[in-house]
Amino acid sequence: AQTVTQSQPEMSVQEAETVTLSCTYDTSESDYYLFWYKQPPSRQMILVIRQEAYKQQNATENRFSVNFQKAAKSFSLKISDSQLGDAAMYFCAFDFGNEKLTFGTGTRLTIIP
Amino acid sequence: DADVTQTPRNRITKTGKRIMLECSQTKGHDRMYWYRQDPGLGLRLIYYSFDVKDINKGEISDGYSVSRQAQAKFSLSLESAIPNQTALYFCATSDFGGLDTGELFFGEGSRLTVL
């Protein structure tokens, strides 16, 4: 079975600090796509960052970066210089080669001013 | 205008009523999806369609049906709504094989409350 686990239901971080959100998964596939989506209070789902499993280099988008460890089946999101606008639910999601995304249960991130 | 449009945005209905949630897209994508979001459960796939003639059940299809009226339109129906179908529903599209392979593009969500 292909599963996705986010073990941190809630996280908080001081403004301007760095926070890491964890995500682990299980699959027997070797080639797949990994994503982090953000859902602010507006409830819109917004793509934060994307990683292809065959790429060894970790993806980076401005203040957002991932630590992808394929052997450990881990895909964490690091947010640097946290801003108030980063407050949201964050979901990791995977396309395990079947053209549909499987989502984790989400982590609610609070930014403390 | 949004690339993926859902109607209605919010709806309150009663147990036993038939409800249809509609989705239309201007992205030109073949693949369309309906997901349901519940607190603590994340997003779960209800139905998906890879083209007009291809409809597939997701992990939680019981109590739901869909119709793919055209490449751009994909509607979700609750034939007889029940309270545990109260949730936030998302329509999404994807462009498999393109530069954005795997990425989902979401509508703004339809919040359904069944009393």
Q: What contacts A57, CB < 8 A, 6 or more positions away? A: none
What is the radius of gyration, based on Cα positions, of chain B? 13
Q: Are B47 and B64 in contact (CB under 8 A)?
A: yes
Asked which of A3-12, B1-10, B17-26, B31-40 is least confident by mean pLDDT, the reply is: B1-10
Q: What is the pLDDT of residue B10?
A: 97
CA distance B93 to A31: 21
CA distance B41 to A106: 8
And the tokens for A113? 């001013």
pLDDT digits 0-9 by tens, B12-62: 999 999 999 999 999 999 999 999 999 999 999 999 999 999 999 999 999
pLDDT greater than 80 at residue A66:
yes
Q: Does B6 touch chain A (CB under 8 A)?
A: no
**A–B: how many Cβ contacts below 8 A?**
52
Confidence of residue B115 (pLDDT cuts 50, 70, 90): very high
Q: How far away is chain B from the Cα of A66, in angstroms, using its nearest Cα?
A: 16
Interface test with A, best of B103, B105, B112 (most A CBs within 10 A): B103
pLDDT digits 0-9 by tens, B80-101: 999 999 999 999 999 876 656 7
Q: Given an 8 Å threshold on Cβ–Cβ distance, is B103 in contact with A103?
A: no
